[in-house]
Amino acid sequence: MKVTVVGAGAVGASCAEYIAIKNFASEVVILDIKEGFAEGKAMDLMQCASLNGFDTKITGVTNDYSQTANSDICVITSGIPRKPGMTREELIGINAGIVKNVSTSLLEHSPNMILIVVSNPMDTMTYLAHKATGMPKNRIIGMGGALDSARFKYRLAEALGAPISDVDGMVVGGHSDVGMVPLTSHATRNSIKVSEFLSEERLEQVAADTKVGGATLTKLLGTSAWYAPGAAVSGMVQAIACDTKKIFPCSTFLEGEYGLNDICIGVPVVLGKNGIEKIVDIPLSDAEKAHMQASAEGVTKTNGLLDL
């Protein structure tokens, strides 16, 4: 199993590290445009191998796509992150050109790859990769919901005073400060609905804190987060590589599901060796349906800024 990660920055390196530590891939190639940067990150990570007990071979390359040839899974993390006070959508001007270029270069050398898009604004970048490469929709997957759901579970556990392992919950919709749809009505603590433990007001606060999860960290860190994003990507890569059929909320091209068309947005999907193996249609409450519709309108507006 060969995995390529484009972008050796904060998220790309974190993702490569988690993939290596989980020890399911034979090879990880990290590619960056900055001379020597990916080579340095790869060498540093390889020097963790004996300490952390993994056999994955990690190599770094400067913009040489021939080294990514025949990758099974490719991850795009290249592009600029936001600074405090910015929205993800403001990154489109620079990141669209990068994602278009990177996705087509990857496809030239790995025609059968499954592509995971991380760069922001992620739903629009996933849509762009779809249009730029013409790849089948099951092989282009945007990462956002897996991270947002991890943040939702963190906030729920905090409010419940419960261990995170006791909590389950999912966030669908667009990966943006306003577009996320935390599915509070489906969230549980050890199969008991969280509404049995928390007031409506407290649950609204949990949802609000979840939606600004990325912005909160960006304010604290001065740039956007990387540990949980890297862990979220590595979980998705593992599900595909090991054909686990686990369900993750992912951004995927919709053709009528959830009443939406010609858009990539977060919905629950089954991940396996073919990428997105099934889009899972779950019943939403009226309020969740309305949030999903508004979220889709926001993503469509951002998609309209693309030069396709």
Ligand X SMILES: NC(=O)c1ccc[n+]([C@@H]2O[C@H](COP(=O)([O-])OP(=O)(O)OC[C@H]3O[C@@H](n4cnc5c(N)ncnc54)[C@H](O)[C@@H]3O)[C@@H](O)[C@H]2O)c1
Binding mask 244-263 for ligand X (x = CB under 6 A): --------------------
Q: 116 and 139 in contact (C-beta within 8 Å)?
A: no
Nearer to ligand X, 72 or 123 (CB): 123
Instruction: Decide if residue 88 touches ligand LMR (CB under 6 A).
Output: yes
Q: Which of residues 17-56 bind ligand X (CB under 6 A)?
A: 31-34, 37
Instruction: Decide if residue 110 touches ligand X (CB under 6 A).
Output: no
Nearer to ligand X, 157 or 171 (CB): 171
Out of 4, 59, 68, 77, point to the residue binding ligand X (CB under 6 A): 77
3-state secondary structure of 232: helix
CB burial of residue 173 (10 Å; 0-12, 13-18, 19+): buried
CA–CA gap between residue 92 and residue 124 (Å, rounded): 8
- Helix, strand, coil shares of the chain, percent, nearest 5, are 50, 20, 30
Residue 142 CB, nearest approach to ligand X (Å): 7
Given ligand LMR, ligand X, none, residue 32, with its beta carbon under 5 to 8 Å by kind, binds ligand X
Nearer to ligand LMR, 68 or 126 (CB): 126
Nearer to ligand X, 144 or 182 (CB): 144
Has 175 been annotated as catalytic?
yes
For CA atoms 155, 160, 164, 170, give the dihedral sign.
Answer: negative
Binding mask 157-196 for ligand LMR (x = CB under 6 A): ------------------x---------------------
Q: Which of residues 221-240 bind ligand LMR (CB under 6 A)?
A: 224-225, 229
CA–CA gap between residue 9 and residue 11 (Å, rounded): 6
CB burial of residue 114 (10 Å; 0-12, 13-18, 19+): buried
Instruction: Decide if residue 140 touches ligand X (CB under 6 A).
Output: no
Residue 54 CB, nearest approach to ligand X (Å): 22
CA–CA gap between residue 155 and residue 164 (Å, rounded): 9
Residue among 146, 144, 72, 67 nearest 114 (CA): 72
CA–CA gap between residue 226 and residue 230 (Å, rounded): 6
- Residues of the shown chain interacting with ligand X in the complex, contacts defined by CB under 6 A: 6-12, 31-34, 37, 77-82, 91, 95, 98, 101-102, 118-120, 122, 143-144, 147, 175, 223-226, 229
